[in-house]
Structure 1
Amino acid sequence: MTSSPAETAVAALLDGAGSLNELALRATLRSHADDHGVDATVVDVVLPFLHEIGAAWERGTHTVAQEHFASQVIRGWLIGEALSGAAEHGPGISPVVLACPPGERHDLGLLCFHVLITRAGVPSRFLGSDTPLPGLGDVCRVVAASGVVVAATRSRVFEAHGGALRMLASHYPLAIGGAGADPEVAERVRATPLSSDMRESVANLVGWYARVTAAA
């Protein structure tokens, strides 16, 4: 069976990770983005690759060092695409703030979300992993956030900070995402759970932001 362009790109990234070849990793991302667009590369290549490199580490075919190396190359590419794709927003525009709570170090999925909503015209502030929740609240006040997205791969991370998340939700619309964001946890922390489908989550947030800004 013939592999799709995305599957071919994921395989090439795995090869590049295995050989610690930064140029090959960057070339694969750039080539797929040139041919199929940045958004498709993020959703159909980067996210599946992150899953596959984790599985490869569990199988013992890739080391932790190779996984970390490839992840940092991809992080650099994602940040570059977020910066180049960001629209100019005038004063008074309230961004969405994105963060992973304390105890959550896996932030590349949220960074992918940041790239996609930024390119869709939603102003966003990405704080990354292990963000202290009081500090997250401070950022929201400074930028007059229109909403907050908190992401974690395990539900117990949300549970551990339930009180702080409920407090945050009393001041700003709060959504939670990632593998740990099930509806029961979302209800307990008074948040809206994002879909596990990245495209659907992005579309929902873009629509929500349009309604918020139209009502402002």
Structure 2
Amino acid sequence: MNSQVDEQKIAFITCVNSEDWYSECRLYLESLHIPDGMKAEFIPVRGADSMCAGYNAGMARTDAKYKVYLHQDTLVVNKHLVADLLHIFADKTVGAVGVIGCRSLPLSGVWWDGLRTYGRVLHACEPESVVDSHCREPEGEYQEVEAVDGLFIATQYDVKWREDIFTGWHLYDTSLCKEMQRAGYKVVVPNQETDFWCIHCPKEKPLAYEYKGYQKAFIREYGKELNPEV
């Protein structure tokens, strides 16, 4: 981790295995409005062994204080994203910002099974089929949550991604949220009532076979810290 951080810089870090998707993702990022005095950099990570390993490698390649970890098939449509993030991160207790997540994790560790989900994402899984996944909205500017989805996670503090446990492509996001909380920081979802921040274009597919193994690993590591709502 970098001891010297550039507070005027934001880095967009993406694990890439499809150049077509990444170039589309990048097109949206390059058209964002960057506030005066701030600069943006783009860090594609190719050939990563896992999401955590890729994100740790990306983290090591930048001195930016602010980082956005996003999927290659996430399109950021909020032109004022950087200013909005800086506004939220003015609260120094906020460590990470996601766009959709849950207030309290259930015992399964799976955020979308939580009783109270917050946030909003436009899902374009198939051509000509767009679903507005709109959960509860925060009552104020943002809502503290226990976990957010990995399609988009912005941070203002560097917390290591647990590549020692999550050696694949699942539950790395929920793990990071728990690591942020262990470090004493909040994870939040912004209010997107008037407009959504991201379009996500994942291919619809069944949950991978390996998911259950990572779920067990997650519960082993963090199970005692979960306080599910009933």
- Asked if Structure 1 and Structure 2 have the same fold, meaning a TM-score greater than 0.5 normalized by the shorter chain, the answer is no
TM-score, normalised relative to structure 1: 0.29
More helix by share: 1
- Of structures 1 and 2, the one with the larger relative CO (CA 8 A, separation 6+) is 2
* Structure with bigger gyration radius: 1
- The structure with the largest strand share of the pair is 2
